[in-house]
Structure 1
Amino acid sequence: MLETYNIGAPTERPPVLIAHGLFGSARNWGVIAKRMSERGRVVTVDMRNHGHSFRGAPHDYPAMAGDLAEVIENLGAQVDVIGHSMGGKAVMVLALTRPDLVRRVVVGDIAPVGYSHTQQGMIDAMRALDLSRVETRGDADRQLAEFVDDAGVRAFLLQSLDVKARAWRLNLDQLEADMAQVLGFPEISGTFEGPVLMLSGGASDYVLPEHRAAVKALFPAARFAKIPGAGHWLHAEKPREFEAACAAFLG
């Protein structure tokens, strides 16, 4: 089962389950989860092949949705789900295949479509690090800067580096092997009739007007909202605004 992190005490509200994106981990969501736990129980997970969760094939959305379903069944209650990017696709597949487990869905800056960009460059950059020369996170950052210009992206990737063990908490081989699955979206028949919030970054191009038909075909009750000035990592760039939008939608 996935590594899970429980914050807050159960209340009359459904628990909130948060699924992170590619190369992320539950710890990326620590601050938001802590603040949201003032309203009730919040559960964050390390997705398969990430963080402290198990390594395994395949790394595709039916498998990831199955992992999330197992976590929810162990909780013994219907949940609200929040997923960002890869995690957003996983919670969409979860809602479509196991609607009995899900009350409301927040999807962070991703659509149920295939994308043409690749994250292979990030995998290559992480592999290029000479971990034998890494004593501190600063050492790793200086090496990574040769391949990744953006300091924010480097900081995000380095959250998955265990400096002491000199190892990535990511199964880079499996993520590379299944990158086409991660970028795509499976063919699924049926719909999820419950409330869905498609929350995107105003400065991001991941959710476009031409994606609305695909969203509405699967999620007829979907609503769309944007966080002005936020890019793809909207929860990291505008955490208070992201949290407020989720709180208002989840009720």
Structure 2
Amino acid sequence: MLLNVSERGPEHPTPEKTLPVVLLHGLFGRARNLGFVQRKLATTRRTLAMDLRNHGNSPHGPMSYPAMAQDVLDTMEHLHASPAIMLGHSMGGKTAMMAALTHPTAIRALIVVDIAPAQGGFDRLDLPDNLEQLQFPPHLDQRSTNDLLRPYIASDAVRQLMAQNIRQGDNPGWAIGLHDIQAAMPDIMGWPHLAPDLRYEGPTLFIRGENSPYISPGNYAAMRALFPNHRLESIRGAGHWVHADAPQRFTELVEEFLANIP
């Protein structure tokens, strides 16, 4: 499956060869959610922010991390963007890890944002099971979309996240593959069983939010086994959406890491 891609690069590319950066969003997100870091990186590099399957403007279909990783790799190959550096947040981080573990020659370096190679990572969304049956009025704007979701989603942040996935204007409705996403939630929450000798030897940076529970000491053994050349950085005061909570510090860590990739 070829994914929808938002591509940015330097206005005046230099002859010096730099690796492209592929950016992958989290659950119920889309490519533009990583827009701040993409704009910063695009001043010197080719960047490709992708909508994962069932998200944004990408096609819909059954979900699993092997399938999503293959989508990303196929899209990279199609756009002549392989090998690349890959950055993924949350579900996008698990997808990036799977791509690196199964196709290490396509991923020169890896940045994983606030997720571990383990069960869990999305339990705080607290979404009702009946969102797929949501009844839409004949017309929706931004304000009425928020009002429509308020009885179902108490959190302002989660409601804002879900609102971006609704088609507004006349004939509104879900713009994402909500049925496929909900059917795959056990797999999205989980982490596949891997061959015991599988590992990614390339340089890897894990970035966690200090106030987020999704990378914990209980995950360190698996991180060492699968990504032996990794380091972990924590951003003070940030939660799960690290890149939104502390964009400057997040971008500094990413740029420092990239500067050391040959």
TM over 0.5: yes
Contact 2:26 2:90 in 1 (8 A): yes
SS in 1 for 2:68: helix
1:187 equivalent to 2:193? Answer: yes
* CA drift at 1:199: 0.4
1:51-107 residue CA offsets vs partner (Å, 9 max, x unmatched): 1101112x0000011011112212333100000110000000000000010111110
What's the TM-score once normalised by structure 1's chain length? 0.93
Q: Where does the alignment leave 5 or more consecutive residues of structure 1 unmatched?
A: none
- Aligned-partner residue type, residue 160 of structure 1: N
Q: Which one-letter code corresponds to 1:96 in the other structure?
A: L
* Contact preservation (8 Å) 1:61, 1:182: yes
CA distance in 1, matches of 2:179, 2:125: 11
* Offset of residue 116 of structure 1: 8.0
Q: Report deviation, 1:137.
A: 1.1
Q: What are the ranges of 5 or more consecutive residues in structure 2 without an aligned counterpart? A: none
Determine which structure has the larger helix proportion and give its number: 1
Matched, 1:166 2:172: yes
CA contact (8 A) 2:3 2:59 kept: yes
1:33 to 35, 38, 63: 38
Please, which of 91, 116, 140 is the counterpart of residue 96 of structure 2? 91
**Identity within the alignment, %:** 35
Question: What is the match of residue 234 of structure 2?
Answer: 226
Deviation of 1:44 (Å): 0.4
CA contact (8 A) 1:133 1:139 kept: no
Matched, 1:107 2:112: yes
Given residue 213 of structure 2, which amino acid in structure 1 is its aligned partner?
Answer: D
- 1:24 pairs with one of 18, 22, 29: 29
8 A contact 2:25–2:50 mirrored in 1? yes
Report the Cα distance in structure 2 between the residues aligned to 1:123 and 1:90, rounded to whole angstroms.
25
Partner Cα distance (2:35, 2:208) in 1: 20
The DSSP-based 3-state class of the residue aligned with 2:97 is helix
Normalised TM-score (structure 2): 0.89
Query: Aligned to 1:124, what secondary structure does the other structure show?
Result: coil
Distance in 2, matches of 1:40 and 1:123, equals: 40
**2:203 is the counterpart of 1:199:** no
Q: Structure 1 CA distance, aligned partners of 2:138 and 2:37?
A: 34
CA distance in 2, matches of 1:176, 1:146: 19
AA partner of residue 219 (structure 1): F
Question: Shift of residue 206 of structure 1?
Answer: 0.4
CA 1:101–1:91: 2 relative to 1, 3 Å: same
Match of 1:8 in 2: 9
Q: Is 1:125–1:144's contact at 8 Å kept on the other side of the alignment? A: no
Single out whichever of 130-139 and 204-213 deviates more from structure 2.
130-139
Tell me the amino acid that sits aligned with residue 183 of structure 1: M
